[in-house]
Structure 1
Amino acid sequence: MTPEELAEYLGVSMYCVYSWSSRGGGPKVIHVGGRLRYRPDDVEEWLDAVTDDRGGG
């Protein structure tokens, strides 16, 4: 997925996505032909790792 698609999917700004790619802290990023891309499985894995399970349900 593109950075724009990731931002829309997560409901965050493009600034946030680009900050993650330069400083770390977000989903694993890959470079394809000089462009940033995110594998959906990597995004879901990252979400699982940062999800707060204490909310109950």
Structure 2
Amino acid sequence: MTTLMPLWSVDDVADFLGVPVATLYQWRHHSTGPRGHKIGRHLRYLPDDVMAWVQEQE
């Protein structure tokens, strides 16, 4: 059985990174932030993608 990790919302990622939600949307517009996925009309993030992006920033 595979255990799935819950997806993070924009608010979750903003809280984790300590940035405003508007900054995440700006990064997405400029393709510079962590990779996000549209699920229906909602933007969601895989925690592993966010962590990989953070590590790339070092």
Q: Percent identity, aligned pairs only?
A: 33
Larger radius of gyration: 1
Instruction: Extract unaligned runs of 5+ from structure 1.
Output: 52-57
Q: CA RMSD in A?
A: 0.7
Structure (1 or 2) with the greater helix fraction: 1
Q: Tell me how many residue pairs correspond in the alignment.
A: 51
TM-score, normalised to structure 1, is 0.83
Instruction: Extract unaligned runs of 5+ from structure 2.
Output: 1-7
Task: Provide runs of 4+ in structure 1 moved above 4 Å.
Answer: none
**Larger relative contact order, structure 1 or 2 (CA cutoff 8 Å, min sep 6):** 2
